[in-house]
Amino acid sequence: MTNPSKKDWSRHLEDALWAHRTAYRTSLGMFPCRIVFGKACHLLCNLAYDQAREQREFQLQELDELHLEAYENSQIYKQKVNRFHDQQVLRKEFQLIVGKLHSRWDRPFVITNVFPYGVVELKDEHTNSTFQVNGHRIKLFHEGPAPTTSNVETISLMELAPPEDTL
């Protein structure tokens, strides 16, 4: 184990202690590691691959069950929060106020002024009142004659003939 010079004993000390601590003791009837840790100590080379695979599959199965349990707990928590929120919400009955939801955009208005940043001033010709709105809210209206059937050209898509210029 050691050479005659007795100077390299420290290299072998760890292995010697491991062998001593993991050896079966007949006086105890078990391994010393079992007394200390509650289970037998195994070297990595002593593990069977089937046992390691089964143990890993079991750990993955436990992990899946833990994820499922956490998901179920989050769903239960959400339901409790929703129930609490619904209890805190006061039930109100709203009364419709005349003119409150009435649209002011029921007739054409005249644009009197255009301000920077899209603000437009409109004038109501019936009441001669002016008000300012955002330019995105208005719809352009052009007054003019409605098209008659004499001005409209009808094209039938079913009877299209190819142009004579093509080859």
Q: Does residue 160 sit within a domain?
A: no
User: In this structure, are 52 and 32 located in the same domain?
Assistant: no
Residue 118 pLDDT > 50, yes or no?
yes
pLDDT at 2: 47
Number of structural domains (the chain) is 3
Containing structural domain, residue 111:
107-143
Q: Does residue 156 sit within a domain?
A: no
Paired tokens of 12: 């072998």
Q: Does residue 84 sit within a domain?
A: yes
| Alpha-carbon gap, residue 124 to 133, rounded angstroms | 13
User: In this structure, are 24 and 10 located in the same domain?
Assistant: yes
Residue 60 pLDDT > 60, yes or no?
yes
Q: Does residue 4 sit within a domain?
A: yes
pTM of the model: 0.30
DSSP label at residue 162? -
Q: Residue range 60-89: average pLDDT?
A: 89
User: In this structure, are 2 and 40 located in the same domain?
Assistant: yes
User: In this structure, are 40 and 62 located in the same domain?
Assistant: no
User: In this structure, are 41 and 9 located in the same domain?
Assistant: yes
Q: Does residue 32 sit within a domain?
A: yes
Paired tokens of 104: 């002011």
pLDDT, tens digit, 9 for 90 and up, residues 136-157: 888 877 666 666 666 667 666 6
Q: Does residue 38 sit within a domain?
A: yes
Q: Does residue 159 sit within a domain?
A: no
- The distance of Cα 73 from the centroid of its chain, to the nearest Å, equals 19
Q: Does residue 94 sit within a domain?
A: no
User: In this structure, are 35 and 69 located in the same domain?
Assistant: no
